[in-house]
Amino acid sequence: MARFLLVEDDETIGRALRASLTLHGHAVGWARTGHDALDDAAKGPFDLVLLDLGLPDLDGVTVCRRLRQQQPGAVIVVLTARDDEMDVIVGLEAGSDDYLTKPIGLAELYARLCVHLRRVESGRQVTSGSIVLGDLVVDVTSRTVRLAGSELPLRAKEYELLLRLAADPGVAVAREALISDVWDAGWFGSTKTLDVHIAALRRHLVARNGERAVPAIVTLRGHGYRLDVP
């Protein structure tokens, strides 16, 4: 479990992000202003700060710079609607470790956060922007998946589903968490779509198997799925 500080003034986005992170077992503090974020950061250490630059009281870049001073060991990921290259540069120079532009799907967001947390916590083999699990490489930046050097021709939701499972290898992920992250928290369609996409992913993995041991998606009846890596 990681300790997150979410800095987001938009109630709808904030509730969705907090619910998703909490669902995955993390402790989440939520600050709606820059001043509240700095007060929270002064009270204790956080593993990761998810910071919206568009705050109502303080300039987000200033908050980022001060958070870096208060939390030198934390990963700071900027989440913003701005996509200007200069904003990216300024945010990184202020001390952020990564820069994500809204809108972004919860599955991709969570995977990016997990990449950063692994660098800090576990020492697993992770390269910049990628999750590397043996012969399986999920490149978050290019949205591609390679198995034993060959690219898998995944559709968008297949990619996001594999990305979500690869973010927590060996961990049981509930069906509700997968539906929330890959589709959305307000999904009202049949959950059978999840099983269909899981079946498609398995076909892709088996087709590229050859003589190699490949990751296996394990069904946990009554709960969800788990990605096991040989």
Distance CA 189, CA 193 (A): 8
CATH number at residue 150: 1.10.10.10
Closest to 143 in 3D by CA, of 118, 160, 126 = 160
Same domain, 137 and 201: yes
Instruction: Give Cα separations from 55 to 61, 65, 198 (angstroms).
Output: 10, 14, 39
**Is residue 138 a contact partner of residue 165, using CB atoms and an 8 Å limit?**
no
Q: Give CA–CA dist 75/120, Å, rounded.
A: 8
DSSP single-letter state for residue 5: E
pTM over 0.75: no
Q: Is the pLDDT of residue 123 over 60?
A: no
Q: How far is CA 164 from the centre of its chain?
A: 8
Does 109 map to a domain? Answer: no
* Residues 139 and 185 occupy one common structural domain: yes
Tell me which residue range forms the domain holding 8: 3-104
Same domain, residue pair 17 and 96: yes
Q: What is the tally of structural domains in the chain? A: 2
- Alpha helices (H) in the chain, listed in sequence order: 11-23, 34-43, 60-70, 85-93, 106-121, 156-167, 175-178, 192-207
Q: What is the CATH number of the domain that holds 93?
A: 3.40.50.2300
Query: Which helix or strand (DSSP H or E) is residue 146 part of?
Result: strand 144-147
Please identify, among 58, 74, 104, the residue that sits at the C-terminal boundary of a domain: 104
Same domain, 29 and 86: yes
- The answer to whether residue 131 sits within a structural domain is yes
Q: What is the pLDDT of residue 118?
A: 67
Establish if 111 belongs to a structural domain: no
- Asked whether residue 112 is domain-assigned, the answer is no
Reported as a single tens digit per residue, the pLDDT across 156-213 is: 788 889 988 998 889 899 888 888 778 765 444 446 778 888 998 998 888 655 555 6
| Shared-domain flag, residues 26 and 89 | yes
Stretch 94-103: mean pLDDT: 80
**Position 3 pLDDT exceeds 80:** yes
Return the exposure string of 38-48: e unless at least 16 CB atoms fall within 10 Å of the residue's CB, then b. Answer: bebbeeeebbb
Residue 168 domain-assigned (yes or no)? yes
| 118: in domain | no
Q: For residue 159, which amino acid is it? A: Y
